[in-house]
Amino acid sequence: MNAGVLTYETIKDWKDQTIFQFKDDLKGLNSFHDQVMRKVMQVAIIKLNKGVPPCNFSWFVTGSGGRLEQGFISDQDHGIIYKEDTEESSSYFKALGEELSDGLAIVGYPYCKGNIMSSNPLWCKSIDAWRKQLLTWMESESWEAIRYLQIFFDARVLEGKVNYIRRLKSVIYEYQRTNPNLLKRFTANIMHVKNVIGPFGQLLVERYGIYQGYLDIKYSAFVPYVNATRVLAIKEGVYETSTLARMYRLIEKEEYAELLRNCERDFDQLLKYRLSLNKVDCYSDTHFFKIARLGRKEKKEIKQIVKNGIRLHDEIIELIEKGC
């Protein structure tokens, strides 16, 4: 990025001019998103005009950003952990969270519809308050609480102290070791998978609406791999956030080698298919694939990837349900 006055608008211009250099490079694309968001943080801190933050903190991203699986358009999923539970810290980081959310929106990251943003007090707390929040969610076991725990487990530090996230994730890991019902609540939360394989083996596309004729690759393909692998990572205390990194770590354990056989290959190929969706107008466009664009070989490959994802999903749920 050229030297000069750093503003949300200049960051947006740089982002728009540069991002398509990574149309064949998922790792580079996600690294670029990180760079953009860190520059937004720089501007947000300057705009607060309050000097340096009052204490150490972590700004983390979650969702596809936390898992390093973002496409060309990505919405916001982020939060803040700060060290000191004081009125000064609470006031400062509340303001910073609001500034970050607005700044990211200006730069081109839509607001999260689920409000998983640092501007939401639920996602901006001291480390002690975060520990209490995680325990409350785990003890509650409500559908929403379990969903939030899954989102938090995908968190990756973008700016600040890295060890805060690790310490908090270990709270989840240790709790589920002595409360095995928590893992079963996780599997109950992810039970539903969108079926896009018809009775004759054909791919089922959207029948109505703006995505008529498109395949929903988010809920039919990505979600089974992501959710199932995450549950297994929570069970085994695997703190890597990307689905591929979790698979590689889990495969090192003999009991999961066969279960995860070829899954990393399938998921990597799925990411490449999603990366080809680079001419999109909005965030939801990155979740749908035009089947007419595919040849016979590609359709066969996608069907196999979907089937393997459902197999992995179902077998991990069965494993957890048996208490293995």
Mean pLDDT of 36-59: 92
Residue 143 is predicted with a pLDDT of 92
Between 3.90.870.10, 3.30.460.10, 3.40.50.2300, 3.90.1170.40, what CATH number should domain 8-177 receive? 3.30.460.10
Q: Where are the domains of the chain?
A: 8-177, 187-321
pLDDT band at 1, cuts 50/70/90?
low
For the packed helices 296-321 and 223-236, what is the interaxial angle rounded to 10 degrees?
30
Identity at 214, one-letter amino acid code: Y
Contact residues for 181 (Cβ-Cβ < 8 A; gap 6+): 141
Residue 285 is predicted with a pLDDT of 79
Element (H, E) at 157: strand 156-160
pLDDT digits (tens, 9 = 90+) for 186-229: 999 898 888 898 888 888 889 888 898 889 989 999 999 999 99
Q: How far is CA 14 from the centre of its chain?
A: 24
pLDDT digits (tens, 9 = 90+) for 112-168: 999 999 999 999 999 999 999 999 999 997 999 999 999 999 999 999 999 999 999
d(CA 230, CA 137): 17
Mean pLDDT of 36-58: 92
Residue 267 is predicted with a pLDDT of 96
Mean pLDDT of 37-56: 91
Query: Residue 161: left if φ>0, alpha if ψ -120 to 50, beta else—which one?
Result: beta
Residue 35 is predicted with a pLDDT of 97
Contact residues for 151 (Cβ-Cβ < 8 A; gap 6+): 62, 63, 77, 116
Is 32 in contact with 22 (CB distance < 8 Å)?
yes
CA–CA distances in Å: residue 314 to residues 149, 152, 229, 250, 253: 21, 23, 11, 17, 19
pLDDT band at 3, cuts 50/70/90?
low
Reported for 28-31, long-range contacts at CB under 8 A and 24+ positions apart, including other chains, are 29/70, 29/71, 29/72, 29/275, 30/65, 30/68, 30/69, 30/70
Residue 199 is predicted with a pLDDT of 85
Mean pLDDT of 34-54: 92
- Cα maximum dimension of the chain: 64
Residue 27 is predicted with a pLDDT of 94
Q: Is 173 exposed, middle or buried (0-12, 13-18, 19+ CB in 10 A)?
A: middle
Residue 280 is predicted with a pLDDT of 72
pLDDT band at 286, cuts 50/70/90?
confident
Q: How high does pLDDT run on average in the chain?
A: 92
User: With 90 as the cut, is the pLDDT of residue 282 above it?
Assistant: no
How far does the chain reach from its first CA to its final CA, in angstroms?
51
pLDDT digits (tens, 9 = 90+) for 237-266: 999 999 999 999 999 999 999 999 899 999
Residue 200 is predicted with a pLDDT of 82
CA–CA distances in Å: residue 322 to residues 147, 181, 190, 250: 22, 11, 16, 19
Share of the chain above pLDDT 90, in %: 74
Is 173 in contact with 70 (CB distance < 8 Å)?
no
Query: Residue 237: left if φ>0, alpha if ψ -120 to 50, beta else—which one?
Result: left
